């Protein structure tokens, strides 16, 4: 994996795009862990062709820059399905044609049956998701990939929140991304991180945006890793 520079133009472009698209919002939002977060990232709001296409381009550019080696993409239901399909299209457009597959939440008992749809799950499989809160989706994907006889090799996400995960309601010393990297042994490629978001807010000429820097920085101070 390549080392991320101090200022990452790709990440800064992505944060700007997410803010302009209304996907990255500021205010007060309750997270799954019960924390009050000063920002919220909802990838479900990349909800038209133009925005989804640009999102896929950011994923593809980050993957190509990362040097991560993979043979196919896997999208965990439900958000990962759209993401894997879109990223596969963009990678093909950039000259890297790879197969993709995804899972159903409910097993199908007719037709081809089973829970996996798309290309045969084989070789080195890269999981595509939006964010990683607890790593649950990744663990479930790993189990399905391994059950199919393939090897999970990494995870691509849009935003690394760089905050402590929770276990049984208590904060852990590590983030979900660190857990996946260190305990599950998978590489993680994030288009942008909370550090990139803070840098964007700090350097933004728009006073309404830069005003959120203090609250986001304080949140990271309390929950960050």
Q: Which residues are catalytic?
A: 108, 110
Tell me the backbone φ, ψ of residue 207, rounded to 5 degrees.
Answer: -60, -35
Alpha helices in 21-154 (DSSP H): 49-66, 79-93, 136-147
The DSSP code for 68 is -
User: Coil, strand, or helix at residue 71?
Assistant: coil
- Give Cα separations from 37 to 20, 26, 41, 73, 193 (angstroms): 19, 9, 10, 31, 15
- Contact between 96 and 64 (Cβ < 8 Å): yes
Q: Partners of 182 in the beta sheet?
A: none
Per DSSP (E only), the strands in the chain are 24-30, 36-41, 72-75, 100-108, 114-118, 124-128, 151-160, 164-167, 170-175, 187-193
- Contact between 216 and 183 (Cβ < 8 Å): no
Residue 119 Cα to chain centre, angstroms:
22
User: Coil, strand, or helix at residue 24?
Assistant: strand
């Amino acid at each position: 994996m390549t080392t991320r520079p101090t200022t990452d133009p790709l990440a800064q472009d992505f944060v700007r795009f997410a803010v302009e698209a209304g996907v990255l919002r500021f205010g007060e939002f309750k997270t799954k862990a019960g924390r009050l977060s000063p920002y919220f990232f909802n990838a479900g709001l990349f909800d038209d062709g133009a925005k989804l296409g640009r999102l896929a381009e950011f994923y593809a550019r980050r993957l190509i820059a990362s040097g991560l080696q993979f043979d196919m993409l896997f999208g965990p239901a439900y958000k990962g399905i759209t993401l894997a399909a879109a990223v596969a299209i963009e990678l093909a457009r950039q000259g890297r044609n790879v197969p993709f597959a995804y899972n159903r939440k409910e097993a199908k008992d007719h037709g081809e049956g089973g829970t996996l749809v798309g290309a045969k799950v084989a070789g080195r499989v890269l999981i595509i998701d939006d964010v990683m809160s607890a790593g649950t989706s990744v663990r479930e994907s790993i189990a399905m990939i391994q059950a199919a006889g393939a090897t999970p090799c990494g995870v691509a996400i849009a935003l690394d929140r760089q905050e402590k995960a929770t276990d049984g309601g208590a904060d852990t010393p590590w983030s979900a991304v660190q857990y996946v990297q260190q305990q599950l042994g998978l590489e993680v490629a994030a288009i942008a991180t909370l550090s990139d978001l803070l840098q964007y807010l700090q350097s933004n000429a728009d006073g309404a945006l830069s005003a959120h820097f203090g609250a986001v920085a304080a949140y990271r101070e309390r929950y960050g890793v």
